[in-house]
Amino acid sequence: MEVLVRNAEGNLSEHDREYAAKKLGRLDRFFHQAHKVEIVHREEKQAHKPSHRIEITVFADGFTVRGEEHDESVVAAIDKVSEKLENRLRRLKSRLIKNHRRKGAQVPNGLVTEEEHPEEHEEHVEIKERKTFLLKPMSIDEAALQLEMIDHPFFLFKNENSGSIELLYRRKDGRYGLLQPEM
């Protein structure tokens, strides 16, 4: 598994990189094929003391799983986000197994199956509302204007230059992000 570390300030020490790679290597057991892990480190000043923000994105088995945590210590932030990702991956794996069992194979008579624990039972996603809208070609600037006009955290549009469906979203820092799916 490739571990890619990105940080704008260039201030993540080699020791912290090795610690993160070791900690994230344990997540490998959830996947058949983990392609890469991307770590983004940012140091932020909050009330005269530094705070470290660690974002980790795992690309594996066709899934992208992301977690983010803040702490005064880099190692503590890595521990927190690693635990968060492990919990998410555990839930994802159990949901995939449950869906696979529901779709197909019945358990033959005489075989003992594992009992489901009530606290692990997850509900289906409930859709509260559906909306339809016209997907017209537009520039990224026009999509940003539309995003401001509807006051939502994201806006789906068809890029007039590339012809692809893209998603413009507002980041926590107030700037914009753009999701461009690969097909």
Spatial distance between the Cα atoms of 20 and 150, rounded to a whole number of angstroms: 40
With H, G, I as helix, E, B as strand and everything else as coil, classify residue 156.
strand
Domain ranges within the chain, ordered by starting residue: 2-103, 131-179
- Single pTM value for the model: 0.59
Give the model's pLDDT for residue 104. Answer: 61
Residue 10 phi, psi (nearest 5): 70, 30
The token pair that represents 26 in the structure block: 């344990």
Q: What is the CATH number of domain 131-179?
A: 3.30.505.50
Name the amino acid, one letter, at 35.
Answer: H
To the question of domain 2-103 being in CATH 3.30.160.100, the answer is yes
Q: What's the 3-state SS for 34-53?
A: EEEEEEEEEEEEECCEEEEE
The strands making up 49-60's β-sheet, listed across from edge to edge, are: 2-6, 34-46, 49-60, 63-71
The per-residue pLDDT string of the chain (183 residues; one tens digit each, 9 = 90 and over) reads 666 776 655 567 888 888 888 888 777 777 776 677 788 888 877 777 778 888 888 877 777 788 889 898 889 999 999 899 888 888 877 777 777 676 665 444 433 344 444 455 556 778 888 888 778 899 999 998 888 877 789 999 999 999 999 999 998 888 999 999 987
